[in-house]
C-alpha cells in the first residue's frame, strides 16, 4: 500500500504540472520546425575556350528552423552552404573560402512581432523588400535554376527593421517598409561595393558586443502589392541608400533602385514578368542599368495532360540586361529553356529535377567581362545545367 501511495504521488507530481501547462494556451509554442533542402547541380558551358569541362557540386544547401515563441511572436533562422563544387571546398567545410563563389554563413535570422496583423514588425537579417522574384520566391521553388539577372539591381539581404502586412484588412493589398544598414550583407547587387558606406563608423564600435557607433548612412526599402487570387499578383518596390562620402570622383551621393513585377497562373499555366532599374550603380556616378524579362511555364500534369508519375513542366524565359557607364554601353539578352520534373505532385518542391539551357544573343563585350560583369548572372551563357533537389 505504501509503495502504491508513493507511486501515485510521483505520478501526480509529474502529471499535474504538465496538465497545467497544456491547459495554459497563452504560452503555446508551435515550434521549432526544422527545414532544409539541398540542390546538387552539374553544368557544362560551350564555346568559351579553356577546358570547358563539367562542373558539378552543391548549388545551394540550406538548413534552418522556425516557429512561434508565444502567440504573435515568431522566429526564423536559416544557415547556408553555397557554391561547394568539385572536391576542394567539400574538403574545406563545404566551401568556406576555398574557391571564389563559395560561401557559408547565416542566411536569415529574424524575429517577427504580429500582435497587430496590419502592422507587423520584423527585426534581424532578411531580404530587403525589393523585387518580386527575389522576395517572393525562395531558392527551393524557383522556376529556373538561376534567378534572373535583375537580382543585381536591388539589395539582397541586410540587417534592419521592417513594418509589413501580408494582407492588409483582408483586401489583398500587402506592403513592406523598412530601414536597414547602408549596404547589402550579401554580394552581387547594386548595394554591395566599396562605394557604399559600411554600417559602422570610426571610433568606438563595440562595447560588450553592442555596436555603438554607426556610419550615419542608411538603406531604405519598401514594397506595395496586390494579390487577386492565383491569377494576378502585382508589386511595385524601391530602395535608396546614401553612398560613401568620398572626396575623390567619381562618387555619387545616393543609389536608387526600383522594380515593378507581375506573376500568376491558372490551371497549370504560369507567368512572371519584371522590369528593374538602378541609377548610380554600386555608388558610381553616371553608371546605370536596366533589366526586363518575361517567363512562361506550363505544368502538364496540372493541365491533366500527363499522369501522376510524369509531372513535368516546360518553361522559357527571355531577358534583356543593359549596362551603361562612360564608353561602355552594352546589352546582353539571354533565353533560358527549361523543363522541371516533380517526383510527387502533392509535394512538388520536396524532390525535383531541373534542366536548363541558356542561350545568349548580342552584347559581345560581355564575353570579355565574363563573371565580373555587372549582371551577377551575366556569365551564364551557352550553358547546360542539370539540378537535383531534395528538401524537407
Q: Report DSSP state, residue 19.
A: H
216 has a pLDDT exceeding 90: no
| Residue-wise pLDDT tens digits, 271-315 | 999 999 999 888 788 889 999 999 999 999 999 999 989 999 999
pTM: 0.84
Residues ≥6 apart with Cβ < 8 Å to 218:
179, 180, 181, 182, 241, 242
pLDDT at 62: 95
Dig out the grid coordinates for 256 from the structure.
536608387
Q: What is the mean pLDDT of the chain?
A: 84
Q: What residues are paired with 224 via a beta bridge?
A: 175, 236
Dig out the grid coordinates for 304 from the structure.
491533366
Q: Are strands 311-325 and 103-113 parallel, antiparallel or unpaired?
A: unpaired
| Residue-wise pLDDT tens digits, 118-135 | 999 999 999 999 999 999
89 has a pLDDT exceeding 50: no
| Residue-wise pLDDT tens digits, 344-368 | 999 999 999 999 999 988 655 565 5
Please count the CA atoms within 13 angstroms of the CA of 247 that sit on its side-chain side. Answer: 0
pLDDT at 370: 55
Amino acid at each position: 500500500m505504501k509503495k502504491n501511495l508513493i507511486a501515485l504521488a510521483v505520478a501526480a507530481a509529474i502529471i499535474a504540472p504538465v496538465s497545467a501547462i497544456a491547459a495554459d494556451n497563452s504560452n503555446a509554442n508551435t515550434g521549432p520546425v526544422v527545414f532544409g533542402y539541398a540542390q546538387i547541380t552539374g553544368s557544362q558551358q560551350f564555346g568559351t575556350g579553356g577546358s570547358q569541362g563539367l562542373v558539378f557540386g552543391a548549388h545551394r544547401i540550406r538548413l534552418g528552423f522556425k516557429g512561434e515563441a508565444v502567440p504573435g511572436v515568431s522566429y526564423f533562422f536559416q544557415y547556408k552552404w553555397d557554391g561547394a563544387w568539385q572536391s576542394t571546398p567539400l574538403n574545406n567545410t563545404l566551401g568556406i573560402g576555398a574557391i571564389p563563389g563559395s560561401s557559408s554563413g547565416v542566411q536569415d535570422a529574424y524575429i517577427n512581432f504580429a500582435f497587430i496583423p496590419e502592422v507587423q514588425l520584423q527585426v534581424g537579417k532578411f531580404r530587403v523588400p525589393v523585387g518580386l522574384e527575389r522576395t517572393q520566391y525562395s531558392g527551393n521553388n524557383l522556376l529556373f535554376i538561376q534567378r534572373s539577372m535583375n537580382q543585381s539591381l536591388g539589395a539582397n539581404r541586410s540587417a534592419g527593421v521592417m513594418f509589413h502586412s501580408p494582407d492588409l484588412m483582408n483586401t489583398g493589398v500587402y506592403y513592406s517598409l523598412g530601414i536597414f544598414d547602408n549596404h547589402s550583407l550579401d554580394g552581387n547587387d547594386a548595394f554591395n561595393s566599396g562605394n557604399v558606406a559600411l554600417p559602422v563608423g570610426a571610433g568606438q564600435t563595440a562595447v560588450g558586443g553592442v555596436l555603438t557607433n554607426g556610419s550615419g548612412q542608411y538603406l531604405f526599402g519598401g514594397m506595395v502589392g496586390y494579390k487577386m487570387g492565383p491569377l494576378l499578383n502585382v508589386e511595385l518596390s524601391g530602395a535608396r541608400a546614401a553612398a560613401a562620402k568620398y572626396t575623390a570622383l567619381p562618387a555619387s551621393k545616393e543609389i536608387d533602385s526600383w522594380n515593378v513585377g507581375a506573376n500568376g497562373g491558372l490551371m497549370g499555366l504560369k507567368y512572371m514578368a519584371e522590369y528593374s532599374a538602378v541609377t548610380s550603380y554600386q555608388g558610381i556616378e553616371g553608371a546605370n542599368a536596366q533589366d526586363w524579362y518575361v517567363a512562361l511555364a506550363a505544368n502538364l500534369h496540372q493541365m491533366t495532360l500527363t499522369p501522376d508519375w510524369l509531372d513535368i513542366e516546360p518553361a522559357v524565359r527571355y531577358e534583356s540586361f543593359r549596362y551603361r557607364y562612360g564608353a561602355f554601353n552594352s546589352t546582353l539578352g539571354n533565353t533560358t529553356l527549361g523543363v522541371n520534373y516533380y517526383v510527387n505532385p502533392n509535394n512538388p518542391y520536396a524532390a525535383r529535377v531541373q534542366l536548363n539551357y541558356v542561350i545568349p544573343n548580342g552584347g559581345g563585350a560581355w564575353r570579355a567581362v565574363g563573371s565580373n560583369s555587372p549582371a551577377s548572372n551575366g556569365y551564364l551563357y551557352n550553358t547546360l545545367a542539370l539540378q537535383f533537389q531534395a528538401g524537407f
